[in-house]
Structure 1
Amino acid sequence: MGAAQAVATAAVFVWLGMVLAISFLEAPLKFRAPEVTLRIGLGIGRLVFRALNVAETVLAVVLVVAAVVALPPVGMLTAGAVVVGTLAVQLVAVRPALSRRSDRVLAGEDVPRSRNHYVYIALEAVKVVALIVTGVLLLTG
């Protein structure tokens, strides 16, 4: 395994761990903690997901640079592209809509639950599967 492939493998599994820990563990559990109101939970969530998305962007850049350096097989490129593309859709299309909604909630408006939240969760699931596939292909390639 070359250096670029090793770096890409590490980036993929760090990224996978972060998404699993934050999106599928921290996010749903924070609202079950005693005295965490919707406003507090949203405030925490915004900070945590902003930080996660910055870290994911850095890891996506690492993955892309490693792919350019190592020129991996098409399967790895495809799986990696799904990961990076999914993140891009989340950042450009879904997160802004969720942020606008949370701004309204934090301003005291009573707004219905957004379907964008479910879209974001579905994209997280796609990203997790694509990260696993990418990581396995990197390990076996």
Structure 2
Amino acid sequence: MNPTSAAVAGAVTFLWLGMVLAISFLEAPLKFRAPGVTVPVGLGIGRIVFRALNLAEAVLAVLALAAVSVGGPPAAVLALGAVAAVTLAGQLLFVRPRLNRRSDAVLAGEDPALRRSRAHLYYVALELVKVAALLALGCAVLATTA
């Protein structure tokens, strides 16, 4: 990889990683602990925040993949970029629709305890995979410049 594309790829990757860590592992669980935040209010906020996060992630994924593709990157760099992007795609195409249906029901007045969903667990598991892939990708990109 050339130094410029490696620098861009590293910056984009670590920005993406930071956003995922801040929103998924800090904001999302903590908002429900705030005084006065009910489950419906928290879900409404969460939907807006995650819609924005996922849009930003999609843009960052395209930028990261474009940057790592320049200049014949090592296979590991391409593979890690693909893992992160495919994981995001899986979240958006398969898990988020299930989460949206569940939050629609709660926002329509259904008791959240009536229908437990494993979709959140799947989303968190995929977030952990994505975090690991992004961390490894960022480190691998930086190693190409050494």
Q: Structure 1-normalised TM-score? A: 0.96
Give the whole-Å Cα distance in 2 for the aligned partners of 1:63 and 1:30. 30
Per-residue deviation at 1:68?
Answer: 2.6
Is 1:5 the equivalent of 2:10? no
Per-residue deviation at 1:112?
Answer: 1.8
Per-residue deviation at 1:132?
Answer: 0.5
2:85 is aligned to 84
Contact 1:15 1:59 in 2 (8 A): yes
Give the whole-Å Cα distance in 2 for the aligned partners of 1:68 and 1:80. 9
Per-residue deviation at 1:131?
Answer: 0.4
2:124 is aligned to 121
Per-residue deviation at 1:109?
Answer: 1.4
Q: Structure 2-normalised TM-score? A: 0.93
Per-residue deviation at 1:67?
Answer: 2.5
Any idea what SS the aligned residue of 1:70 has? coil
1:102 is aligned to 103
| Count of equivalent residues | 141
Structure 2 unmatched runs, 5+: none
Percent of residue pairs identical: 62
2:69 is aligned to 68
Give the whole-Å Cα distance in 2 for the aligned partners of 1:44 and 1:139. 36
Give the whole-Å Cα distance in 2 for the aligned partners of 1:140 and 1:64. 17
Per-residue deviation at 1:117?
Answer: 0.5
The one-letter code of the counterpart of 1:49 is: F
Computed over aligned residues only, the root mean square deviation of the Cα atoms, in angstroms, reads 1.0
Per-residue deviation at 1:113?
Answer: 2.3
Is 1:43 the equivalent of 2:60? no
Give the whole-Å Cα distance in 2 for the aligned partners of 1:79 and 1:112. 36
Question: Which stretch shows the higher mean deviation, 122-131 or 105-114?
Answer: 105-114
Question: Which stretch shows the higher mean deviation, 3-12 or 120-129?
Answer: 3-12
Give the whole-Å Cα distance in 1 for the aligned partners of 2:115 and 2:106. 10
Contact 1:5 1:70 in 2 (8 A): no
Structure 1 unmatched runs, 5+: none
Per-residue deviation at 1:2?
Answer: 2.0
Per-residue deviation at 1:53?
Answer: 0.1
The one-letter code of the counterpart of 1:130 is: A
